[in-house]
Amino acid sequence: MQIIDAADLDYRAVNEALREAESDFIIEGCCGQRFIAAGISGKNLTINGIPGNALGAYLNNANITVNANAQDAVGDTMNEGKILIHGNIGDAAGYAMRGGKIYVQGSAGYRAGIHMKAYKEKIPVMIIGGCAGSFLGEYQAGGVIIVLGLHKDGRRIVGNFPCTGMHGGKMFLRGSCEDIHFPKQVTAKCAAADELEEIREYLSEYCLDFGYSMDELLSEPFTIITPDSKNPYKQMYVAN
């Protein structure tokens, strides 16, 4: 397989090499270069080392595997493809993501999955293995956000203000979430069997990717959060 040695390359050079590269390749010695694979399609890349901010921004259709942590804005406005992180990620992952998958083994920082969208069968999915920071799924307009809370180390599964302004899509948090405060305009309840069925496919893919068993993931109940209205601002205005 082709190898791009990123040790002495800046981000522009990494991306130039990556556009030239064959469809399958490895980036070695990655150390904070930003914007890796921004807007690309039709490639499979593995990154050894830590990619910088905005990994896979506007990703069109490519598979990225990171064998370490990643920084902020992973999969910003991503369209299609899959980003697999064997570690933790920083803030604002999957901002306005409209398709594809972001699967994270570890935890996510603040503002993950803000304003995720969906259209018909195009449904973005984000799975966080550990915990998520505050403002998870703010303004969520579509798609599926799942947080598993594995290896929580006593932390809450999400920080403060999850689902603020949520008006579409679904969020699944593993556990009963009694310690989480949700805003008024959403409903949080224990996920029924048919609701869990909707995410079974994603969960089993996640298990394969990271070596978990479904039994382990399903050993606790899931809380499902859905918005009460697609039109949260409807009554707020009067024509003038």
Partner 1 sequence: MGIEFIYPEFEVIRNKSRCISCRVCERQCANEVHSCDEKLKIMKCDDSKCVNCQRCVSFCPTKALKIVKSDCTLRENANWPAQTVKEIYKQANSGGVLLSSMGNPKPLPVYWDKILINASQVTNPSIDPLREPMETRVFLGKKPSKVQRSKEGKLNCTLPPQLELSMPVMFSAMSYGSISYNAHKSLALAAAELGILYNTGEGGLHEDFYCYGENTVVQVASGRFGVHADYLQAGAAIEIKIGQGAKPGIGGHLPGEKIVGDISRTRMIPEGSDAISPAPHHDIYSIEDLRQLVFSLKEATEYKKPVIVKVAAVHNIAAIASGIARSGADIIAIDGFRGGTGAAPTRIRDHVGIPIELALAAVDQRLRDEGIRSNVSLVVGGSIRSAADVIKAIALGADACYVATAALLALGCHLCRTCQSGKCNWGIATQRPELVKRLNPAMGSERLIHLMTAWKHEIKEFMGGMGINSIEALRGNRLMLRGIGLTEKELEILGISHAGE
Binding site for partner 1 (CB under 8 A): 11-12, 15, 19, 34-35, 38-41, 53-54, 57-60, 72-73, 76-77, 79, 92, 95-96, 98, 111, 114-115, 117-120, 122, 135, 138-139, 141-142, 165, 167-168, 230-240
Is the Cβ of residue 90 or residue 149 nearer to partner 1 in the bound state?
Answer: 90
The smaller minimum CB distance to partner 1, of residues 138 and 223, is found at 138
CB of 91 to partner 1, least distance (A): 8
Helices (H), 63-128: none
Task: Give, for 81, the enclosing helix (H) or strand (E).
Answer: strand 81-85
Cα 81 to the center of its chain, rounded Å: 12
Could you tell me the smallest distance in angstroms from the CB atom of residue 34 to partner 1?
7
Taking the least distance from each CB to partner 1, the nearer of 110 and 206 is 110
Q: How far is the CB of 173 from partner 1 (least distance, A)?
A: 20
Name which of 106 and 138 has its Cβ closer to partner 1.
Answer: 138
Q: Of 195, 233, 200, 198, give the one whose Cα is nearest residue 215.
A: 200
Report the nearest approach of partner 1 to the CB of residue 40 (Å).
Answer: 8
**Residues whose CB is less than 8 angstroms from the CB of residue 74 and which lie 6 or more positions away in sequence, other chains included:** 54, 55, 56, 83, 85, 89, 90, 93, 94, 102
> Which of residues 168 and 183 has its CB atom nearest to partner 1 in the complex?
168
- Tokens in use for 213? 């068993």
Give min distance, CB of 127 to partner 1, in A.
21
Q: Which residues contact 60 (CB under 8 A, 6 or more apart)?
A: 39, 40, 41, 79, 80, 81
